[in-house]
Structure 1
């Protein structure tokens, strides 16, 4: 997905609109001081634009169990490798658009 398309989608959605989803919920449950509604909502919006619902549910588990992310990253499974590529794209986009 091109960055310009992602930026256009943010304008269409409006940055104040919070959409509850698997990523948003997992983010808020971490208990980290940086995990607030604005940041978690932003990350969810990026997830909605870059990941399928199934990928979102899988990625949300990484918030609770970071070792799971490492296992997927190191896996030789073709499906895990494909998921990891999508996840990295999502993570990079979320970092670009949601960091202060």
Structure 2
């Protein structure tokens, strides 16, 4: 059991180090947001979830929401089919990140 915890800790530290070296658009926007809750660990975790759930272009759009929250409202209420499909993916991303990256 202790070995499994150590392996998990080593894997997690490698994940965090790897995330710092190649910050994605969501992580970068998160870190630049100025939010008190936007710690490097949380932003790295959120980027990890973005990599699992969003395409590169979806990530760029999501990163824009951090800079311009009004844009999120425009996309969410749009009648455009592409925007509606994106919003479903974005909503899944947000729910997954909230669960996966929850602070302890």
TM-score range, shorter chain: 0.7 to 0.9
Whether contact under 8 Å (1:15, 1:42) holds in the other structure is no
Structure 1 unaligned spans of 5+ = 1-10
Task: State how many pairs are aligned.
Answer: 88
Select which of 45, 50, 67 maps to 1:47.
50
Give the structure with the larger helix fraction: 2
TM-score normalised by structure 1 residue count = 0.84
- In 2, Cα distance between the equivalents of 1:69 and 1:15? 31
Q: CA deviation at 1:99?
A: 1.4
Hey, what's the Cα distance between the residues in 2 that align with 1:40 and 1:59? 13
- Aligned twin of 2:65: 62
Moved over 3 A (4+): none
Structure showing greater radius of gyration is 2
Tell me the residue number matched to 2:95.
92
Report the TM-score when normalising by structure 2.
Answer: 0.81
Are positions 1:73 and 2:73 aligned together?
Answer: no
RMSD, matched Cα: 1.1
Unpaired segments ≥5 residues, structure 2: 1-7
